[in-house]
């Protein structure tokens, strides 16, 4: 009995062919980008560049065999609609924003500044270089720590690790960040500080409250479907509408919250019009400046944010709780575990992927928060966005104010890329350290 080996008739994709296809796709995108640039900016000098790139693409295609040529053309025709949409509305605007950030741009392009806008925002080059060196040295310290330097015989590795940590810390926090904060744009650094208060004041609290509510609603209680719907209502409500309503509730004159304070004998507060920190309001003006904390105006915004997002986070936590096998709880109860043990050793570890997702989304959303801050602060301060006295001027609001109010388009674009770099760094940090506390099985 003989057997026949059936060989695949489809051509193998070798590395040279793959390189040709990638080069063809990149050249096509560059050519389309040149076309868009020519179309919108009417630079006749780019017509020749676009024609040369298109000719290069055709030349590469023509060098292929007829069957392969048809295959490549058909493949790129299938990709053309999606790639056209992505490049036109995603890649090209980002590249064009980078181009704007390199110029002095007020409605129209003016002088070419290179990295001048970035230096204006971040400060002197010496501080920036020290900051980058500090980050690189700390990364080297992390790499050294991964090499198991804590053994008894690895004294040299421990010395190298401590040295790198000291040098990196000095470069980062002595010669880097302070110099950048002193010589950079004070409004940018203030917006980053306000954004940090925003993240710290919303993410942990809203996740903790949402987890407790989800755990309670997951139990066998009457009317839990109605409660789930009630808690989810704020999230499905229009953000602009709910922001306007809450701005009225915080109105110093006749607002609901001040009426409640007066009803229990407490003085009324200015809420969204109060620039002083909550530390100053609670302990007096003699406390150190670092202990003042966020302004009462920002605390009012944070209260609204927590109220708005609790329903969404609770719903996601409920979905995560539903994926935990009940057999684990039953086995733990048989072994004598109480409610706290079940929550601590089963619920929290198996809910860690959901917690990680919500934390990641909440932090990224906090860095980009804009609409509700715009509505609430402009309503309370008569059109001044980010007030009072810029105590609600988060990074996203600062970009808007720079771009539209001050009409400094190039500088605003540079700040947007700085914010993008910060969000990317925080996200990568979260993704890396999630391996230590997130359990998917």
Q: Which range is most confident: 59-68, 75-84, 388-397?
A: 388-397
Q: Percent of the chain scored above 90 by pLDDT?
A: 30
**Mutual angle of helices 186-217 and 409-437, in 10-degree steps:** 40
Res 38 pLDDT > 60 = no
Contacts for 376 with CB less than 8 Å, ≥ 6 apart: 243, 244, 246, 247, 250, 272, 300, 301, 304, 392
Contacts for 306 with CB less than 8 Å, ≥ 6 apart: 202, 205, 206, 209
pLDDT (average), residues 119-143: 82
List, for residues 315-343, the tens digit of each pLDDT value: 999 989 888 888 888 899 988 888 888 88
Confidence label for 282 from pLDDT (cuts 50, 70 and 90): confident
pTM, entire model: 0.80
List, for residues 219-256, the tens digit of each pLDDT value: 887 877 888 888 888 888 899 999 999 999 998 888 89
List, for residues 162-190, the tens digit of each pLDDT value: 777 777 777 777 777 888 888 889 999 99
Res 49 pLDDT > 80 = no
Total residue count of the chain as it appears in this document? 441
User: Which of 16-20, 88-92, 200-204, 425-429 has the lowest average pLDDT?
Assistant: 16-20
Note the pLDDT of residue 30: 65
Enter the DSSP assignment of 347.
Answer: I
For the chain, give the mean pLDDT.
82
Helix, strand or coil, per DSSP, at residue 105: strand
Note the pLDDT of residue 222: 80
Res 39 pLDDT > 60 = no
Note the pLDDT of residue 211: 93
Confidence label for 3 from pLDDT (cuts 50, 70 and 90): very low
pLDDT (average), residues 188-201: 93
Comparison of pLDDT for 382 and 138, the residue scoring more: 138
């Amino acid at each position: 009995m003989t057997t026949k080996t059936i060989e695949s008739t489809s051509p193998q994709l070798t590395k040279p062919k793959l390189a040709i296809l990638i080069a063809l796709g990149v050249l096509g995108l560059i050519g389309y980008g040149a076309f868009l640039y020519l179309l919108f900016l009417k630079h006749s000098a780019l017509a020749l560049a676009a024609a040369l790139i298109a000719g290069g693409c055709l030349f590469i295609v023509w060098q292929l065999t007829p069957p392969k040529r048809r295959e490549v053309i058909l493949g790129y025709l299938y990709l053309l609609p999606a790639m056209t949409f992505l490049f036109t509305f995603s890649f090209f605007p980002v590249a064009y924003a980078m181009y704007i950030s390199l110029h002095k741009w007020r409605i129209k392009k003016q002088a070419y500044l290179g990295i001048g806008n970035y230096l204006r925002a971040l400060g002197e080059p010496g501080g920036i270089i020290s900051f980058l060196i500090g980050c690189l040295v700390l990364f080297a310290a992390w790499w050294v720590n991964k090499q198991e330097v804590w053994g008894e015989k690895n004294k040299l590795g421990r010395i190298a690790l401590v040295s790198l940590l000291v040098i990196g810390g000095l470069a980062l926090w002595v010669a880097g960040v302070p110099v950048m904060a002193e010589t950079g744009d004070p409004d940018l650094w203030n917006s980053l500080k306000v954004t940090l208060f925003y993240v710290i004041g919303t993410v942990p609290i809203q996740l903790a409250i949402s987890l407790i509510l989800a755990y309670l609603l997951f139990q066998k209680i009457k009317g839990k479907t109605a409660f789930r719907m009630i808690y989810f209502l704020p999230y499905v409500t229009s953000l602009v509408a709910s922001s306007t309503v809450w701005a009225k509730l915080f109105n110093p004159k006749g607002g609901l919250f001040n009426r409640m304070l007066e009803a229990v004998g407490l003085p009324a507060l200015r809420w969204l019009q109060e620039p002083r920190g909550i530390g100053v309001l609670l302990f007096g003006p003699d406390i150190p400046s670092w202990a003042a904390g966020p302004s009462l105006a920002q605390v009012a915004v944070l209260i609204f944010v927590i109220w708005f997002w609790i329903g969404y986070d609770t719903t996601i936590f409920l979905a995560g709780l539903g994926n935990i096998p009940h057999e684990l709880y039953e086995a733990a109860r048989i072994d004598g575990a109480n409610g706290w043990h079940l929550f601590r050793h089963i619920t929290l570890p198996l809910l860690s992927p959901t917690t990680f997702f919500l934390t990641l989304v909440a932090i990224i959303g906090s860095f980009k928060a804009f609409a509700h801050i715009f509505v609430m602060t402009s309503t309370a301060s008569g059109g001044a966005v980010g007030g009072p006295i810029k105590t609600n001027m988060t990074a996203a609001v600062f970009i808007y104010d720079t771009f539209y109010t001050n009409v400094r388009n190039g500088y605003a674009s540079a700040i947007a890329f700085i914010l993008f770099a910060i969000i990317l760094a925080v996200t990568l940090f979260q993704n890396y350290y999630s391996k230590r506390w997130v359990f998917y099985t």
